[in-house]
Amino acid sequence: MNNYKLLPALISILRTLNLTESAKQLNVTQSAMSKTLNQLREDFHDKIIIREANKFILTKKGERLKAQLPILMQQLDNLYAPESIKLNQCKRKFTLASSDYVAQAILPSIFFHIEKEAPNVSIEYKLWYKNNLNKLAGQDLDLVATIADSIPDNLYGKLMAEDQLVVVFRHNHPKSDSELTINDYINSRHILISGGGDKDSFVDHTLAMMDLHRNILVTVPFFQSAIELLIKTDAMLTIPLHIAADFAQNYDLKIRYLPIDIQPQQYYLLWHAKYHQDPEHKWFREICFPLIKAHLERTIRHGMKLIHTRK
Is residue 2 over pLDDT 80? no
Question: Phi, psi at residue 246, to the nearest 5°?
Answer: -65, -45
* The pLDDT of residue 308 is above 90: no
pLDDT of residue 71: 82
For the domain made up of 165-263, the CATH class stated in words is: alpha beta
194/265: higher pLDDT: 265
Higher pLDDT among residues 16 and 3, named by residue:
16
For residue 295, what pLDDT is reported? 97
Q: Which of 61-65, 244-248, 306-310 has the lowest mean pLDDT?
A: 306-310
pLDDT tier at 199 (50, 70, 90 boundaries)? low
- Confidence band for 228, pLDDT divided at 50, 70 and 90: very high
Q: DSSP for the chain? A: ---GGGHHHHHHHHHH--HHHHHHHHT--HHHHHHHHHHHHHHHTS-SEEEETTEEEE-HHHHHHHHHHHHHHHHHHHHHSPP---GGG--PEEEEEE-HHHHHHTHHHHHHHHHHH-TT-EEEEEE--GGGGGGGGGS--SEEEEE-SSPPTTEEEEEEEEE-EEEEEETTSTTTTSPPPHHHHHHSEEEEE-TTS-TTHHHHHHHHHTT--PEEEEEES-HHHHHHHHTTSS-EEEEEHHHHHHHHTTS-EEEEE-SS--PPEEEEEEEEGGGTT-HHHHHHHHHHHHHHHHHHHHHHHHHHHHHT---
Specify the length of the chain in residues. 311
Say whether 165-263 and 4-80 share the same fold.
no
Answer CATH for 4-80 from 3.90.1150.10, 2.60.40.420, 3.40.250.10, 1.10.10.10 = 1.10.10.10
Least confident among 148-157, 180-189, 286-295: 148-157
Q: Which residue has the higher pLDDT, 174 or 196?
A: 174
pTM for the complete prediction? 0.73
Q: Does domain 88-162+266-302 have CATH number 3.40.190.10?
A: yes
Mean pLDDT of 149-156: 82
d(CA 285, CA 279): 10
pLDDT of 281 reads: 93
Strand pairing report for 165-170 and 253-257:
antiparallel
Closest CA to 205 of 261, 166, 151: 261
User: Which of the four pLDDT bands, split at 50, 70 and 90, describes residue 114?
Assistant: very high
What is the mean pLDDT of the segment spanning 119-138? 84
Give the span between the Cα atoms of 172 and 230, in whole angstroms. Answer: 11
pLDDT in tens, 69-87: 888 877 777 666 556 678 8
pLDDT in the model for residue 311? 43
What's the pLDDT score for residue 145?
94
The pLDDT, as a whole number, for residue 83 is 64
Domain locations in the chain as residue ranges = 4-80, 88-162+266-302, 165-263
- What is the separation, in whole angstroms, between the first and last Cα of the chain? 83
Residue 198: the pLDDT is: 46
Determine the pLDDT at residue 200: 59
pLDDT tens sequence across 204-215: 889 999 999 999
Residue predicted with more confidence, 54 or 217: 217
Q: Residue 120 and residue 127: Cα distance in Å, rounded?
A: 23
The pLDDT of residue 249? 94
